[in-house]
C-alpha cells in the first residue's frame, strides 16, 4: 500500500500561511475524520506544529494526492495554484525517510531541537486513538520512534540544550551582553512557550504579544 505525504514547513511557506493551516488540539479529532473521509484514504496522520503542517496517508490510489492538496487549499482558504507553490509531496520510501529526519530533529529550524520527537509521537497517537491510523502507518510510527531514539542516544545531536528559545537567548547575550535589567517583548510564542523559561530568568521583565491582543506579562 503506497504512502503519500503532503505538507509545508518553515522552508517552503511563510509563517502567515502556516498559521492559517495550523490545527489546534481541539480540532485534531474532527480534522483527522475529515481527512480519513477523503476518497481513497486508508489511514491518515496529521502533524501540525508551529513550523510544519503535514498529512501522511496510506492509500491504494495515487489520485488521492489531488484531494489532499484540495484540502490544504480549502482550509487556508486560498486558490489551489497558490497552495501548490508552497507544498511538497513525498511518496513511498521518501515518506518514511522524511519522518525519520523530522522525528530525529534533523529537519527542524534549529537542528537537533528535542520537542519535535514528542510532537510526532503525539500526532501518531492521536490518529491511533481516533481509529484513523491504519496498520501500515502504525508500523511506520513504531519504526519512526525507534529510529528517533537511536539517533538521540547513539549520536551527539542531543548533547546540548537546543531550541528556538535557547538560540534566541544565546543570540541576545551576544548582542547585549548581560541581560539582567532588560525588558523584553516576545511576539508570538505559541508552541515554543514552554521553552522560554531561560529568557524569563535572564531578564527583568518579559511580556508576550499575540496578534492584536494587549501584551501579557509573563515574568517580572
Residues annotated as part of the active site: 50
Among 98, 126, 154, where does a domain finish? 154
Q: What is the pLDDT of residue 114?
A: 83
How far is it, in rounded angstroms, from Cα 206 to Cα 122? 30
Beta bridge partners of 207: 185, 217
Least confident interval from 124-138, 152-166, 197-211: 197-211
Tally Cβ neighbours within 10 Å of residue 117.
21
Shared domain check, 141 and 171:
no
> How does the average pLDDT of the chain come out, rounded?
85
Of 7-16, 127-136, 165-174, the range with the lowest mean pLDDT is: 165-174
pTM: 0.78
> Do both 210 and 119 map to the same domain?
no
| Residue 132 placed within a domain | yes
Residues 22-35 have pLDDT tens digits of 999 999 999 999 99
Phi and psi, residue 52, nearest 5°: -160, 150
Question: Is 159 a member of any domain?
Answer: no
- Nearest 5°: phi and psi at 169? -65, -45
**Within this chain, do residues 77 and 186 fall inside the same structural domain, yes or no?**
no
Domain match, 47 and 125 both: yes
Q: Contact at 8 Å (CB) between 44 and 132?
A: yes
- CA distances to 11, 46, 73, 148, 152 from 79, rounded to whole Å, are 20, 22, 6, 36, 40
Q: Is the pLDDT of residue 217 over 70?
A: no
Residues 170-183 have pLDDT tens digits of 777 778 787 777 77
| pLDDT per residue as tens digits for the range 85-119 | 999 999 999 999 999 999 999 999 888 888 899 99
The SS3 of residue 59 is strand
Flag whether pLDDT at 141 surpasses 80.
yes
Q: Interhelix angle for 134-154 vs 93-103, to 10°?
A: 40
CATH classification of the domain holding 145 = 3.30.460.30
* Domain housing 135: 3-154
Whole-angstrom distance, CA of residue 131 vs CA of residue 37 = 12
Q: What is the mean pLDDT of residues 129-147?
A: 96
Question: d(Cα 152, Cα 92) in Å, to the nearest integer?
Answer: 25
| Integer Cα distance of 113 and 156 in angstroms | 12
One domain, residues 106 and 182: no
The cell for 47 is 502533524
Same domain, 145 and 174: no
In this structure, the answer to whether residues 150 and 186 fall within a common structural domain is no
Query: How remote is the C-alpha of 82 from its chain's centroid?
Result: 21
Q: Are 206 and 196 in contact (CB under 8 A)?
A: yes
Q: How many domains does the chain divide into? A: 2
Q: How many residues are present in the chain? A: 220
Amino acid at each position: 500500500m503506497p504512502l503519500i505525504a503532503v505538507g509545508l514547513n518553515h522552508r517552503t511557506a511563510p509563517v502567515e500561511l502556516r498559521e492559517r493551516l495550523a490545527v489546534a488540539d481541539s480540532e485534531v479529532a474532527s480534522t483527522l475524520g475529515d481527512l480519513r473521509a477523503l476518497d481513497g484514504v486508508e489511514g491518515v496522520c496529521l502533524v501540525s506544529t508551529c513550523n510544519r503542517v503535514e498529512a501522511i496517508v496510506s492509500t491504494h490510489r495515487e489520485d488521492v494526492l489531488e484531494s489532499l492538496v484540495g484540502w490544504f487549499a480549502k482550509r487556508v482558504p486560498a486558490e489551489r495554484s497558490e497552495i501548490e507553490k508552497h507544498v511538497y509531496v513525498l511518496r513511498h520510501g521518501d515518506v518514511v525517510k522524511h519522518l525519520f529526519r523530522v522525528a530525529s530533529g534533523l529537519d527542524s529550524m534549529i537542528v537537533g531541537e528535542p520537542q519535535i520527537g514528542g510532537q510526532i509521537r503525539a500526532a501518531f497517537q492521536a490518529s491511533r486513538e481516533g481509529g484513523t491510523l491504519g496498520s501500515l502507518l502504525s508500523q511506520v510510527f513504531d519504526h519512526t520512534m525507534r529510529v528517533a531514539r537511536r539517533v538521540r542516544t547513539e549520536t551527539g545531536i542531543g548533547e546540548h540544550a537546543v531550541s528556538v528559545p535557547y538560540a534566541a537567548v544565546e543570540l541576545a547575550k551576544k548582542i547585549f551582553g548581560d541581560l539582567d535589567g532588560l525588558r523584553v517583548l516576545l511576539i508570538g510564542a505559541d508552541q515554543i512557550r514552554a521553552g522560554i523559561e531561560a529568557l524569563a530568568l535572564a531578564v527583568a521583565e518579559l511580556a508576550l504579544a499575540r496578534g492584536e491582543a494587549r501584551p501579557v506579562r509573563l515574568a517580572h
